[in-house]
Chain A
Amino acid sequence: MFDAVLAVLGGVLIAAGLTLMAGGTLGLLRFPDFYTRLHAVRVADGIGAVVFLLGLAAVSGDGAIALKLMLLAALVAALGPTLSQLLANAAHLAGLSPIAGPYRAPRPGGRRDV
């Protein structure tokens, strides 16, 4: 009974992770500039990878493998956003402009000009 519940839960999680990663890969292929691609890949793909790994841990049926897979999921969840920040910072410092034009922060005091 418990095994069947785990198998169904793992199957649902793996399917959800694959769907999220398919969306991320589609965004990587179709989006117009680097920052939008970064958004697609590192958000959808990162969450999809974590969900996929949790589903694998549910279907693996072995305690040691499941524990290590959850450790890998925690590692991917921690490293993905860090790397995305590094990538965006490196591209921004190198002068790569977004497709919408450079960002202008609103000035204090309500002055919209300069």
Chain B
Amino acid sequence: MIALIGAGGVALMLALSLVRLHAGPTLYDRALTASSIVTKGALICAALAASAGRVEFVDAALALALGGFVLNAAVLKVFRVGTFQAPMARSGEDA
């Protein structure tokens, strides 16, 4: 029961974070809010798992947390170099 209440509270904060995702003036604000929202989704999954007593939901939460981290790091890399195919060496430098 208390896990369900916790899931409801986290869902409320996720809904509030959507405001910043819409209004954030810079791209970095949006990346930060997106990472926070993915973490909150994983927390909701974990709370539902503890409430329903099913292990699979915790696996889903683990996958969400890991995948969200990797995706956010990749998005930041794209912000920095502007392409998905960044060269490994600087131009003009012999590899």
Contact = CB atoms under 8 A, between A and B. Distances in A.
Describe A's contact surface by its main secondary structure. Answer: helix
A61 B6 CA distance: 16
Given A56-B6, A69-B50, A29 B19 contact: yes
Interface string A1-21: 000000100110010011001
A72 B17 contact: no
B13 A25 contact: yes
B62 A68 contact: yes
Given A28-B33, A29-B16, A55 B6 contact: yes
Interface string A67-94: 0110110011001101100110011011
A91 B9 contact: no
Contacts of A28: 17, 20, 32-33, 36
A47 interface: no
Nearest to A62: B53
Interface string A29-71: 1000010011001100100010011011101111011001101
